[in-house]
Chains A and B, each alone.
Chain A
Amino acid sequence: MPKVIVPLGPQHPALKEPGNFTLMLEGEEIVDAALRLGYNHRGIEKAAESRNFIQAMYLIERVCGICSHAHATCYVTNVENICGLELPRRAQAIRVITGELERIHSHLLWLGVAAHEIGFDTLFMYSWRDREYIMDALETLSGNRVHYSINTIGGVRRDIGKEQIEDILKKLDLVESRTNYYIKLATQEPTLHARTMGVGKLPKEEALKRDACGPLLRASGVARDVRKDDPYLLYGELDFKVITSDACDVFGRVYVRVFEILESVKILRQVLNNMPQGPVSVKMPPKVPAGESVTRYEAPRGEDIHYVKTDGGVNPSRVKLRAPTLANFESVAYMLKGDQLADAPLIIAAIDPCFSCTDRMAVVDKLSGQSQIETFKDLRLKSIEHYKRKGIDFSKL
């Protein structure tokens, strides 16, 4: 049978963000896959070098719209380490609360996306509805739904009140009961089994060989979680389990994420019911000394690692970040091989990819290798011309 090459992406209805997967097919089976990434590269690391430490914090938070707290916490921890700041316990607790709420909303979002990919849109609607409770809780806590900006160098910007604690606890009860329903559904629903079991196989050895991380690695039976292995904030004192599955397929990844929601609820209850008293921040020194620091953080999608180097000036001299999705792409190429073309979107979605996290550094607006300045007006005129050729006139608009 002749081999057929199918380019999937960079713009493709099955992918929520741009990425190119060149799939070589024999019939319906994928025999080889090549990846091309970088379409979302925005120059954030370079841009951070020309911002001061506080400005860079807000910039780094915008690396990702879902694990924004993960990136911001990683960055501020590095700066705090360089300054030698001791973080108050109440600030640590608030960072844990935000981090775990973020994990729940990210996992619910992923569950919805995965359900949508397998054509189970009822579950997609349900899980996204439940996610709203968590988004509301994050809004109550920080004032923002997406980029919480709760962090500041030396602590957090807002304290948490008694009413907020009660409100979040109530929402957690609701999310917990809904998650238990999803667990029942995931273990009993035959259509979900049919679409996820045995799809996107990643054996334990292969996952380790490819340095996979996060729920993808745990779904291949490896109990690795930065919160346990290299505890930060209050995680060393908290009681929670690292969820693993030996299924090594998409079903295992559903299992790990759904049970992780329950573990996050458990962590949140422990922290919210025993909030340490005291201040929520310490003062940042006027000058950040020269130094360097590296921090790891278990983001919802896996290990997030940041490196910051300072030279005593007003700006960081190097900020490096590695989002978990980049670490998992080697595994995607492996998982695609041997599977059906129809399963490709699901396999890609199963690592919970975040392209804007992954592609974050270099420069914007490359225009066909020539120097060319296009104003908004020029672009508008071009688009009007384009549609005129197709017989639609937008010039009156």
Chain B
Amino acid sequence: MPKDFEHLLQNIEVKAPRRVWAAPKAPVYDCIGELKAKFNFDHLCTITGLENGENFEILYHLSRQNGTLLTLRDTIKIEGAKTKSITPLFQSAIWYEKEINDLLGVEFEGLPQAARYPLPDEWPQGDHPLRKNWQPADHCGVTPKTEAE
């Protein structure tokens, strides 16, 4: 199966039955568009965002009816992190992208502007709790102490 994807993907690894890992060769938006249109990867399971020390990794978990789960790893720089939103391809991506935007601070170009998720409206801009160097700041309350304490 990996041969079909050679023009589209690189570093293809099959780590377990039905679990394929790869990185996109083309821009990730085009790559996902082609995977959806030509290879039946028509279900977006979720998008994971993580910080690996030097970069952000955005993992797109795509699946198709035969049970194959493809994890597409897009690596972007932390400084001014920006990538194209895949909401035109997968409507459900709106929640996953909002989540990464709030918690890691990755900007998704083309993500519809609406209520934020999941942080409160008053949460300060530029404060992203899932970053590795994040420390609870003044705006975070402290767990209430019991009377005995």
A320 contacts B48, CB within 8 Å?
yes
Tell me if B29 is interfacial: C-beta within 8 Å of chain A.
Answer: no
B129 contacts A305, CB within 8 Å?
no
Contact with B along A339-373 (1 / 0, CB 8 A): 00000000000000000000101111111111111
A320 contacts B46, CB within 8 Å?
yes
Chain B neighbourhood of A35, CB < 8 A: 115
B141 contacts A373, CB within 8 Å?
yes
Given A38-B120, A366-B123, decide whether A230 and B96 contact each other with a Cβ distance below 8 A: no
Chain B neighbourhood of A369, CB < 8 A: 122, 124, 139
| B:67-121 near A, CB below 8 Å | 67, 69, 71, 90-92, 94-96, 99, 102-103, 114-120
Chain B neighbourhood of A231, CB < 8 A: 67
Cα distance, A317 to B130, chains bound together (Å): 11
B59 contacts A307, CB within 8 Å?
yes
Cα distance, A305 to B147, chains bound together (Å): 41
Q: List 11 A-B contacts (CB under 8 A).
A: A36-B117, A211-B43, A305-B61, A322-B46, A362-B129, A364-B141, A369-B122, A370-B139, A373-B142, A376-B147, A377-B145
Cα distance, A205 to B71, chains bound together (Å): 24
A365 contacts B143, CB within 8 Å?
yes
B96 contacts A322, CB within 8 Å?
yes
Cα distance, A361 to B120, chains bound together (Å): 12
Chain B residues close to A by CB (< 8 Å): 15-16, 18-19, 42-46, 48-50, 59, 61, 63, 65-67, 69, 71, 90-92, 94-96, 99, 102-103, 114-120, 122-124, 129-130, 136, 138-147, 149
A358 CB to nearest chain B CB (Å)? 8
A307 contacts B141, CB within 8 Å?
no
Chain A neighbourhood of B147, CB < 8 A: 375-377, 380
B92 contacts A362, CB within 8 Å?
no
Chain B neighbourhood of A230, CB < 8 A: 18, 63, 67, 69
B142 contacts A365, CB within 8 Å?
yes
Total contacting residues, chain A, CB less than 8 A: 53
Given A211-B92, A327-B92, decide whether A374 and B141 contact each other with a Cβ distance below 8 A: yes
B138 CB to nearest chain A CB (Å)? 4
17 other A-B residue contacts (CB within 8 Å) besides A294-B19, A368-B122:
A36-B115, A211-B91, A230-B69, A294-B69, A305-B45, A305-B61, A318-B48, A322-B45, A361-B129, A362-B118, A362-B119, A363-B129, A364-B140, A366-B140, A369-B122, A373-B141, A376-B146
A81 contacts B16, CB within 8 Å?
yes
B106 CB to nearest chain A CB (Å)? 14
Cα distance, A376 to B44, chains bound together (Å): 44
Chain B neighbourhood of A374, CB < 8 A: 141, 144
Chain B neighbourhood of A145, CB < 8 A: none
Cα distance, A307 to B95, chains bound together (Å): 17
B130 contacts A361, CB within 8 Å?
yes
B138 contacts A229, CB within 8 Å?
no
Contact with B along A34-49 (1 / 0, CB 8 A): 1111100101011000
Chain A neighbourhood of B129, CB < 8 A: 43, 46, 361-363
Given A38-B117, A229-B67, A307-B59, decide whether A330 and B94 contact each other with a Cβ distance below 8 A: yes
B42 contacts A366, CB within 8 Å?
no
